[in-house]
Amino acid sequence: MFYNWTMRTIDTRQIGDCVYRLALRAGTRMTDPCRAALENARLKERGAAQYALSTVLENARIAQRECLPVCQDTGMSAVLLEVGQDVHFTGMLLGDAVNEGVRRAYRDGYFRKSICDPLSRENTGDNTPAYVHIDIVEGDHVRITYLPKGFGSENMSRIFMLTPAQGKAGIVDAITETVRLAGARPCPPVVVGVGIGGCFDSCAFLAKKALTRDVGSAHPRKEVREIEQEALEKINSLGIGPQGFGGNVTALSVQCEVAPTHIAGLPVAVNIQCHCVRCEEEVL
């Protein structure tokens, strides 16, 4: 028997503190690639559509300068943890530590508490519980990605269980149709996260994970990249435009993540993100 001397011990309080920092930062700032994409989109629009983009860019500047929530929907907290398998956690339960970080950030940041019971609609009062996803990976690090997700856009998300015969064309149609049906409601120009493959629930997670990529980043695999580009072109010919005011830019980016699936299926999940991507990451 070997004793693993490389085991690294991390007090979960450190995880909570990190989530706290990430949540405060994410709530008050739009990511740089998102801002660059919006500035680029502004050049392609006129009239009310351009006015809408100028307003959201000005808003992002105000929010960052004054440390104010960039959008009042400070979202449901998605916390993606990549945990090296040589890490040993001590202290409170990992999930409790994450929620503690969220709780303090939403209090100290004057963020809106948006989480409630689905039936009674009673607010939990502190924006917990967060949605926590854990992947075990090689190494002794912990990567924490924090994505606060507003529900104006989340509500417009869909999942499709396509048949293998529908193939790439079916995937592109599913993505485009989801954005078309969403119309002005999710605060376009949107960022579209797409999961392709896996099973019903892992496919939906892939779609969310895709939203943590930099806006405008392309998938390394050529076939996937082609789907991203083709779907983006089709979406931008819909004419919905910024805020639904009509125009050339309905989506800033389509970002797909893939995973092996069953021979009988082709799951496709489409997770819609509004024009204001807020996402922060840290590695411990």
Figure out which of the listed residues 246, 259, 261, 284 binds another protein, where binding follows CB under 8 A: 246
The single residue among 15, 26, 63, 191 that binds another protein, judged by CB under 8 A, is 63
Size of the site for another protein (CB under 8 A): 49
Our finding on whether 163 is near another protein (CB under 8 A) is no
The Cα–Cα gap between 130 and 19 comes to 11
**Residue 270: Cβ within 10 Å count:** 28
- Told to check if 183 binds another protein by CB under 8 A, we report yes
Please give the DSSP secondary-structure letter assigned to residue 142. E
Q: Does 240 bind another protein (CB under 8 A)?
A: yes
Positions 195 through 214 that interact with another protein (CB under 8 A): none
**Residue 244 engages another protein in binding (rule: CB under 8 A):** yes
Q: What interhelical angle do 94-108 and 12-28 show, nearest 10?
A: 40
66 contributes a contact to another protein by CB under 8 A: yes
Say which residues have a Cβ less than 8 Å from residue 15's Cβ, sequence separation at least 6. Answer: 81, 89, 94, 97, 98, 101, 142, 144, 284
Our CB check for another protein shows the closer of 57 and 132 to be 57
Q: Does 85 bind another protein (CB under 8 A)?
A: no
- Number of Cβ within 10 Å of residue 277's Cβ equals 25
Query: Residue 264 phi/psi, 5° resolution?
Result: -90, -5
Q: Does 148 bind another protein (CB under 8 A)?
A: no
Interaction of residue 40 with another protein, rule CB under 8 A: no
Q: Is 245 in the site for another protein (CB under 8 A)?
A: yes
Order the strands of the 251-261 sheet from edge to edge. 158-162, 266-273, 190-198, 251-261
- Sites of contact with another protein (CB under 8 A): 46-49, 51-52, 55-56, 58-59, 62-63, 66, 68-74, 110-114, 121, 123, 125, 152, 155, 183-187, 237-241, 243-248, 274-276
